[in-house]
Amino acid sequence: MLESFVTESPITFTLPLQDQRVVEEHSAVFSSTLSKPRSNRHVKWFKNGKELSAQDTHFEMGWKNHTHTLCIIKTLLEDAGQYTIKIGEVSCSAQLIVEGKGVSLLSFLRIFGSFCWLVQGIRT
């Protein structure tokens, strides 16, 4: 008797994660599309090799059909790093760069202008 086996094709990333650059306190969203639909229970997210917890309210993990997302809400400078999505033995990664808010040029000019008026008033 000859047995036939149907082998399932492996899962691949049809749209891998993309590097992200955000200003702190803004959200960052990583999104990846798989060749086959998989529920979130099959997917693990990592930051710098450490698994992220679905219970951590700083992150939102979601999926619809073939696409899985990781949203980092109100990023902090320490959120910068390498993020990885892993399904079984297949994974892909991307970098998150978080830039500090700093002082905008407009704010600087307003402060500098006020300072100049103050100095000019003292001199007269």
Instruction: Output the pLDDT for position 66.
Output: 87
Q: Does pLDDT of 98 surpass 70?
A: yes
The encoded tokens of residue 79 equal: 């959120």
Percent pLDDT > 70 in the chain is 73
Instruction: Output the pLDDT for position 112.
Output: 56
E strand intervals along the chain: 13-15, 20-23, 28-34, 43-47, 50-51, 59-64, 67-72, 81-87, 90-99
Q: Does pLDDT of 9 surpass 90?
A: no
Domains contained in the chain, CATH given: 13-123 (2.60.40.10)
Q: Give pTM, 2 decimals.
A: 0.74
The encoded tokens of residue 16 equal: 């891998």
Instruction: Output the pLDDT for position 104.
Output: 55
Instruction: Output the pLDDT for position 11.
Output: 82
39-93 pLDDT, tens per residue?
Answer: 666 889 999 999 999 889 999 999 888 899 999 999 999 999 999 999 888 999 9
Instruction: Output the pLDDT for position 10.
Output: 79
| Average pLDDT over all residues of the chain | 82
Q: In angstroms, rounded to a whole number, what is the distance separating the alpha carbons of residues 63 and 108?
A: 42
Of the ranges 85-89, 101-105, 106-110, 114-118, which is most confident? Answer: 85-89
